[in-house]
Amino acid sequence: MAKITSDNVLEILGEKIRPGKSATINFNMAKLYTTTSVEVPVIIERSKKPGPVVLLTAGIHGDEINGVEIVRQIISKGINKPQKGTIICIPVVNIFGFLNLRREFPDGRDLNRMFPGTKHGSLAGRFAYQFVKNILPLANFCLDFHTGGASRFNAPQIRVKKGDEQSLKYAKIFSAPFTIHSKTITKSYRETCAKKGIPVLLFEGGKSLDSNRDIAKHGVEGAIRILSFLEMLDPKFDYPDAATETIIIENTNWMRAKYSGLLHIKIPCGKHVEKGEYIGTITDPYGKFRHKIKANHTGYVININESPIVYQGDAIFHISVPTKNE
């Protein structure tokens, strides 16, 4: 099992890393049909000064490129080199899905529904089990980066469980444009961290198979603010003040397409809309039909379906629901 010894030596995946050292260790879990090994690089930076261990992960879903880009930038810019403690970066957790540009593992399972895993179960379950046994025990704090699924574009946001005041405190420090109360999904990575008492922030931004510069900027700057709060950030990096305080959203509601057809979005994701505001259009391909979509209530648009074609009943706009005090 991964651990830090009494003399501050980090033991992980059979390797020993002393204070002040760097290492890239390959987490080798399985092979392709060709017997080619598939390795997940685990990038470790240690300060000489003792301190917390922060674990940054992305690509639990292999088609969520924005998260991979956020962690890549953190490594590329040297933000992951702490002035105290240890930072572990895993830019692509689900390397199988990343190679195939698919959300799932090769066995068709969603890795983020397989934690904490099983020793003798499916491939995804076995991977989750080894991750939880050999990497997660080191972490004192986790940042996990995701995007919206399929063509659904998420405004940059942190997800926290309602009533979790510790996570809410960290979410305010991260200061994404939105912080959304979200139930913890059964057998997810976030649930496993919570059960082990490890603080975790789940960042969502953008959509699958897309790399968005603004989303990456929000993710990187939020990570910097967290590392600064933990006194791990190298002083050479400027502390990026957030443009505004994070907007806390307690309840949301999906608007669904009343008709099938071509979807034309008329507003940017993240916009505050008023009830009755014109936000999109559904047309047929032949120029005969045109339906105006109007917001069914006032709120922030936190997710937009950017698919060019929708069917009747498809979720198209995810809008916050005002609280009684608003």
Digit-coded pLDDT (tens) for 235-277: 999 999 998 999 999 999 999 999 999 999 999 999 999 999 9
Instruction: Please report the pLDDT score of residue 67 as a whole number.
Output: 98
134 with 74, same domain: the answer is: yes
CA–CA gap between residue 111 and residue 107 (Å, rounded):
10
Would you say residue 129 lies in a domain?
Answer: yes
On the question of pLDDT at 38 being above 80, the answer is: yes
On the question of pLDDT at 29 being above 80, the answer is: no
pLDDT (mean) for 94-98: 94
212 with 287, same domain: the answer is: no
On the question of pLDDT at 42 being above 90, the answer is: yes
Per the structure, the count of domains in the chain is 2
Query: Of 229, 260, 281, which one is at a domain's C-terminal end?
Result: 229
Give the domain CATH number at 255.
2.40.50.100
Would you say residue 35 lies in a domain?
Answer: yes
CA–CA gap between residue 98 and residue 104 (Å, rounded):
9
Averaged confidence pLDDT in the chain: 96
Would you say residue 326 lies in a domain?
Answer: no
Query: Of 229, 262, 277, which one is at a domain's C-terminal end?
Result: 229
Digit-coded pLDDT (tens) for 285-324: 999 999 999 999 999 999 999 999 999 999 999 999 987 6
Digit-coded pLDDT (tens) for 134-180: 999 999 999 999 999 989 999 999 999 999 999 999 999 999 999 99
At 326, the pLDDT band (50, 70, 90 cuts) reads low
pLDDT (mean) for 111-115: 98
Instruction: Please report the pLDDT score of residue 324 as a whole number.
Output: 64
Domain that holds residue 292: 251-320
Between 106 and 54, residue with greater pLDDT: 54
Would you say residue 286 lies in a domain?
Answer: yes
297 with 161, same domain: the answer is: no
Report how far apart, in Å, the C-alpha atoms of 185 and of each of 109, 111, 174, 315 are: 15, 12, 22, 20
Helix axes 213-229, 65-76, angle to 10 degrees: 50
Query: Of 169, 198, 229, which one is at a domain's C-terminal end?
Result: 229
Which structure tokens are listed for 255? 């608007």
Digit-coded pLDDT (tens) for 277-286: 999 999 999 9
Q: Which SS3 state, helix, strand or coil, does residue 100 take?
A: helix
Would you say residue 144 lies in a domain?
Answer: yes
On the question of pLDDT at 231 being above 90, the answer is: yes
43 with 10, same domain: the answer is: yes
Instruction: Please report the pLDDT score of residue 36 as a whole number.
Output: 83
157 with 20, same domain: the answer is: yes
Instruction: Please report the pLDDT score of residue 156 as a whole number.
Output: 98
Would you say residue 9 lies in a domain?
Answer: yes
Q: Which of 315, 316, 69 is nearest to 215 (CA)?
A: 69
DSSP code string of 203-266 = EEEEETT---HHHHHHHHHHHHHHHHHTT-S-TTSPP---SSPPEEE--EEEEE-SS-EEEEE-
Would you say residue 32 lies in a domain?
Answer: yes
Instruction: Please report the pLDDT score of residue 185 as a whole number.
Output: 97
Digit-coded pLDDT (tens) for 202-220: 999 999 999 999 999 999 9
On the question of pLDDT at 71 being above 80, the answer is: yes
Q: pTM here?
A: 0.96
What is the enclosing helix (H) or strand (E) of 165? helix 165-174
